[in-house]
Structure 1
Amino acid sequence: FGITIPSPYTENNKHYFTFYGSGVYERMLGLANLNLFYPPDVAGYPAYHQEPEFSRHWFSSTSIISRYKLPQMLLTGKRSVGGSPNSSIGIKLDIVLWVKNSGITLDPSNPYQLVKDLLDYMLPAKVDTDRFNYFYDQVFLNGLPSSDWTYEWQNYLSTNNQTEVKIPLERLINHIMYSPEYQTF
């Protein structure tokens, strides 16, 4: 990615403040109005003191735009809300390389297994068959046969050209992170 990340073993303070402090806490969570140790009011974060649905109060009209911009910011590495739009957030997710090397799925060339593994990894509960088919057929494959994905993944492995595999992966990640299942749990 062209970003030097300090070693968490030898430079643990620098690693923490460079990567997590600036990249995650300030630029991503802060934009979603989830600043750590700075609750939105004197009563604290609403989820800890209001009933009956404790787990859903942090999702509000105040934070929805920033929350929906998070996937775009992670995939482009640029701020898309707030001051200094298009400035670097200090981190960029190379989704193709991550899928290839993360171990989340054992066979990225199998589109069914890839979508299943990503949904299991990113969502708190298993989705039903209709919801899975939506993510698999409409979002990821975009109506194309599954053999197209297998061919394109094999082509990527042999040529290292990400173009044809990056688009469906980014589309899937965006849709998962925009989904109600992701946003409200």
Structure 2
Amino acid sequence: MTHAAAAIASRLPFTKRERATWTGRYAAPIGDRTRRKQGKTMKYAIVTLSLLALAACTSVKVKPVDSSVAMKHVCIHTNPAVIVDDFVMVMQDGFQRHGIAAEVYDRDLPATCEYVVDYTALRSWDFKPYLSHAEIRITEHGRLVASATYHLNGKGGFDMGKWRGTKAKMDPVMDELLAGFH
């Protein structure tokens, strides 16, 4: 420590320990008060990051198909507004995994379709497009039999899982929707 710095430090209201950490003319002493401020700042940072992480949660709501329903075949009604390319294929795989045949219809559904699947899927963009919201509704002659909703709260926020593929996101939803079928 230089003579000038020592003279300045001796006139300031610091403890001996704080004076010992004085390193120069413009340097601030590192003492208990500074460490307490750093601790509080760190606590606020941890709380803020925790809230951001919670805000980026995935919400899944499922009303599964009742196991008493004898669903062996479904008709998927194509939604031309959906631009998630592999969404219908992932749904078909999910139905087939549970022993349910699934056919896709672009136009009018045949009268033989007892169970109809309507869906919507939305994409968001953050460096690349990803699935941020999806809804699936299964009806029997117009009566709702089952439904499922997948939603990324806050469009995924800082969660790196938001870029997972459609299959990785929707397979658990389809499994929960069709839990009564094997």
The TM-score with structure 2 as length reference comes to: 0.22
Q: Which one has the bigger strand percentage? A: 2
**Structure with greater contact order relative to length (CA < 8 Å, sep ≥ 6):** 2
